[in-house]
């Protein structure tokens, strides 16, 4: 059984990884397609979770980090990405465990046992 974290990158997932690697040279980067957890067609690339750890984030505020990442992903966000959960950390923050337990918030369109979809 395969999960989104271990499956090969699909088109948008791979593009997100490439853009973020080039822009931030992260020491850790996880781009996880969570679309299968939502009410979208099989194989969709609409919901992503991104964990990025990069030295450049050290002096930046959380807002500055989010703006920097989202500005790099702006064109992809316009091409069908519905949701992106982001955690951008400095290596020091990651060492303190701030990368642990990163769970995306539930989507209003998420599948549930009583949803009928």
Residue 116 in any domain: the answer is no
Collect contacts of 101-108 with beta carbons under 8 A, ≥24 apart.
Answer: 102/49, 102/51, 104/34, 104/47, 104/49, 107/37, 107/38, 107/47, 107/82, 107/83
Q: What are the pLDDT digits (tens) for 14-68?
A: 899 999 999 999 999 999 888 766 656 666 677 789 999 999 999 999 999 999 9
Q: Is 113 contained in some domain?
A: no
Residue 91 lies in a domain: yes
In a domain, 58, yes or no: yes
CATH number of domain containing 70: 3.30.300.90
Under 8 Å between Cβ of 54 and 90: yes
Residue 29 has a pLDDT of 97
Using the predicted structure, report yes or no on whether residue 106 has a pLDDT greater than 70.
Answer: no
* Structural domain span for residue 56: 11-95
State mean pLDDT over 3-24. Answer: 78
Residue 117 domain flag: no
Q: Is residue 41 part of a domain?
A: yes
pLDDT above 80 for 8: no
> How many distinct structural domains can be found in the chain?
1
pLDDT at 78: 84
> Residue 89's closest CA among 38, 34, 28, 5?
28
Q: Does any domain span residue 114? A: no
| Residue 5 counted as domain residue | no
């Amino acid at each position: 059984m395969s999960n989104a974290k271990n499956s090969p990158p699909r088109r948008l997932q791979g593009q997100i990884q490439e853009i973020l690697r080039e822009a931030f040279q992260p020491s850790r980067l996880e781009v996880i397609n969570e679309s299968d957890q939502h009410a979208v067609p099989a194989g969709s690339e609409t919901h992503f979770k991104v964990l990025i750890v990069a030295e450049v984030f050290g002096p930046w505020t959380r807002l500055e980090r989010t703006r920097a990442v989202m500005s790099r992903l702006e064109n992809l966000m316009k091409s069908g990405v519905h949701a992106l959960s982001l955690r951008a950390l400095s290596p020091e923050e990651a060492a303190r465990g701030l990368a642990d337990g990163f769970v995306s918030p539930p989507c209003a369109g998420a599948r549930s046992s009583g949803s009928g979809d």
